[in-house]
């Protein structure tokens, strides 16, 4: 009989890692992998029994996706009796997870895989907490979108296997647009009062979340060929207030000044959007792919999805984030970890059914009946997959959190100052340079 290899548990974790379910493993495995240290077990000599390699994954997926992941892990364990996997859900914030992983790396007791958000990845890698898997993962990269690979790469170094992406799309009330004689906007100029043919009073065609100002403007800059950050040999250059970004900022300022946006931010953002759709005051919104499944209230079947407007009207699709499965520094079973990560990321349909957009291009997901009904019969999953295929990925940087802090709050004032966005971008540039 194979034997399980026991692993040490780090002392005093900063934030609890809750086991949702131990999947597809024996009782011995369940007792051995609470917070597993990464170590490749092997044969101990002639006549010895083979040991079971045990992989541990730490993640922060939402509940629906966690349930899907559990089923994937169970499938893996049935197919790989000699390499068993356990998925542990981290209940804390991304910053708390980063501290937990850094602590594990320092103690030499790391998980084999950890889910890392695209915006956090450069800081994690810069801190020395992630492995360079550029060569080890080379055989897998052909299965993922260029944008997802870009967001998983830091200064030319691939740090993991892309798992999810978050493409920007435009959702709108097609019936109301037809009634007004409108087409879906191709540019942000068409979202302003000058370019928008003058809509009915009290109707809005976009939302704005001040807490995600940095995310949205960085994505819009990327869509038009710009970049807030570039890296060369470990040296980062910031252009948060560069020419391309200032063009984006001016377009955002115009929308905010014209007060055609519905303010939706924080924990209540989804409720505000749904209430505005129900009341008929919100006719359109730029949204992320991960928001689509839960965006509409009942009775909004006239809404549909199309390409998100860019500032220039170029039509270039862009991502506003995503996540990857990364191998922490110090892991000694990288090959098995990457093979497992590729296996999980390849479950395109399961990720789609859980409300996420997969980074893998190995298959195109189908749209479930409930989602299709909510969107008036549109093939939502197929549309998101097609949009994602050529979407550009945003380049983040170790100083990203400082930039987010500097831009947080932009658009929160119903009557913004004429230079609010430009001033905030200048402050964000200084924050980026300070690091």
Residue 410 region, left (φ>0) first, then alpha (ψ -120 to 50), else beta?
Answer: beta
Please indicate, yes or no, whether residues 185 and 307 belong to a single structural domain of this protein.
yes
Confidence at residue 26, expressed as pLDDT on a 0 to 100 scale? 28
119 lies in some domain: yes
For residue 132, pLDDT beyond 60: yes
Domain shared by 384 and 413, yes or no: yes
Residue from 323, 396, 381, 328 nearest 350 by CA = 381
Q: Has residue 11 been placed in a domain?
A: no
Q: Domain end: 371, 391, 413, which one?
A: 371
End position of a domain, from candidates 350, 371, 392 = 371
Range of 358's domain? 53-165+321-371
32, part of any domain: no
Residue 396 near residue 221, CB atoms below 8 Å: no
Q: Which residues pair with 285 in a beta bridge?
A: 171
Instruction: Render pLDDT for 26-46 as a digit per residue (tens, 0 to 9).
Output: 222 233 334 444 444 443 344
What is residue 199's predicted lDDT score, i.e. its pLDDT? 62
Residues 211 and 172 both lie in one domain: yes
316 and 189 in a common domain: yes
Find all residues with CB under 8 Å of 35, minimum gap 6, and list them. Answer: 9, 10, 13, 17, 56, 88, 104, 109, 111
Separation of CA 109 from chain center: 26
* Structure confidence at residue 50 as a pLDDT band (50, 70, 90): low
Q: CA 82 to CA 3: how far, in whole Å? A: 9
The domain that holds 352 is classified in CATH as: 3.40.190.10
Residue 101, pLDDT > 90, answer yes
Q: Other C-beta atoms within 10 Å of 195: how many?
A: 12
| pLDDT band at 258; cut points 50, 70, 90 | confident
Q: Are 435 and 402 in contact (CB under 8 A)?
A: yes
* Lowest mean per-residue pLDDT among 96-100, 104-108, 268-272, 359-363: 268-272
Q: For residue 284, name the pLDDT band (cuts at 50, 70, 90).
A: very high
Is the same domain home to 283 and 382?
Answer: yes
- What per-residue confidence (pLDDT) applies to 198? 53
Quick one: 297 and 223 in the same domain? yes
Same domain, 267 and 414: yes
Q: What percent of the chain clears pLDDT 70, i.e. is strictly above it?
A: 87
- Does 88 lie in the same domain as 213? no
pLDDT (average), residues 393-399:
98
- pLDDT of residue 6 exceeding 50: no
Residues 188 and 314 in one domain: yes
Distance in angstroms (rounded) separating the CA atoms of residues 397 and 154? 8
Q: Confidence class of residue 55 from pLDDT cuts 50, 70 and 90?
A: very high
The pLDDT value recorded for residue 76 is 99
Mean pLDDT of the chain: 88
Q: Average pLDDT in the 287-298 region?
A: 96
Please report, rounded to a whole number, the percentage of residues in the chain having pLDDT higher than 90: 78
The number of folded domains in the chain is 2
Distance (Å, rounded) from C-alpha 354 to C-alpha 374? 15
Q: What is the pLDDT of residues 293-305, one digit of tens each?
A: 999 999 999 999 9
User: pLDDT for 149-160, tens place per residue?
Assistant: 999 999 999 999
State whether 399 and 386 are in the same domain. Answer: yes
Q: For the ranges 145-154, 187-196, 418-427, which has the lowest average pLDDT?
A: 187-196
Structural domain contains residue 314:
yes
User: Looking at the domain assignment, is residue 20 inside a domain?
Assistant: no
Predicted TM-score of the model (pTM): 0.89
Inside any domain, residue 352: yes
Q: What angle do CA 367, 371, 372 make, to 5 degrees?
A: 65
Domain boundary among 332, 354, 371: 371
Q: Is 362 part of any domain? A: yes
Residue 176 is assigned to a structural domain of this protein? yes
pLDDT-based confidence at residue 182 (cuts at 50, 70, 90): confident
Q: Are residues 298 and 326 in the same domain?
A: no
In this structure, the answer to whether residues 243 and 391 fall within a common structural domain is yes
Contact 421, 246 (CB under 8 A): no
């Amino acid at each position: 009989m194979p034997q399980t290899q026991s692993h040490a548990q780090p002392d005093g974790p900063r934030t609890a890692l809750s086991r949702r379910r131990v999947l597809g493993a024996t009782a011995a495995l369940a007792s051995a992998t609470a917070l597993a240290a990464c170590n490749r077990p092997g044969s101990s000599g002639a006549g010895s029994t083979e040991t079971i390699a045990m992989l541990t994954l730490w993640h922060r997926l939402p509940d629906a996706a966690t349930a899907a992941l559990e089923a994937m892990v169970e499938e893996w364990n049935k197919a790989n009796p000699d390499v068993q996997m356990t998925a542990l859900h981290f209940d804390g914030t991304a910053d708390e997870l980063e501290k937990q992983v850094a602590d594990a790396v320092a103690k030499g007791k790391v998980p084999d895989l950890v889910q890392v958000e695209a915006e956090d990845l450069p800081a994690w890698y810069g801190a020395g907490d992630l492995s360079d898997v550029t060569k080890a993962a080379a055989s897998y990269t052909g299965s993922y979108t260029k944008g997802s690979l870009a967001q998983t790469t830091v200064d030319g170094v691939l740090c993991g296997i892309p798992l999810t992406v978050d493409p920007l799309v435009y959702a709108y009330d097609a019936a109301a647009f037809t009634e007004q004689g409108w087409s879906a906007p191709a540019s942000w100029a068409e979202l302003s009062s000058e370019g928008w043919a003058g809509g009915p009073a009290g109707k809005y065609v976009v939302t704005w979340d001040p807490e995600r100002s940095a995310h949205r403007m960085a994505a819009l800059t990327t869509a038009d060929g710009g970049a807030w950050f570039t890296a060369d040999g470990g040296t980062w250059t910031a252009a948060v207030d560069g020419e391309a970004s200032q063009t984006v900022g001016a377009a955002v300022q115009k929308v905010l000044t014209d007060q055609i946006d519905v303010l939706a931010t924080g924990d209540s953002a989804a409720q505000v959007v749904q209430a505005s759709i129900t009341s008929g005051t919100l006719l359109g919104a730029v949204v992320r792919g991960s928001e689509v499944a839960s965006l509409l209230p009942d009775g909004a079947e006239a809404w549909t999805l199309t390409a998100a407007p860019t500032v220039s009207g170029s039509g270039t699709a862009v991502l506003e984030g995503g996540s990857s499965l990364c191998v922490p520094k110090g892991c000694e079973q990288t090959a098995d970890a990457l093979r497992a990560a590729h296996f999980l990321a390849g479950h395109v349909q399961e990720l789609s059914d859980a409300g996420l957009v997969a980074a893998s291009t190995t298959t195109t997901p189908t749209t479930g009946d409930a989602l299709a009904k909510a969107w008036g019969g549109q093939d939502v999953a197929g549309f998101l997959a097609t949009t994602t295929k050529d979407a550009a990925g945003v380049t983040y940087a170790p100083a990203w959190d400082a930039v987010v802090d500097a831009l947080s709050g932009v658009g929160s004032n119903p009557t913004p100052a004429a230079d609010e966005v430009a001033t905030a971008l200048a402050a964000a540039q200084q924050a980026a340079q300070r690091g």
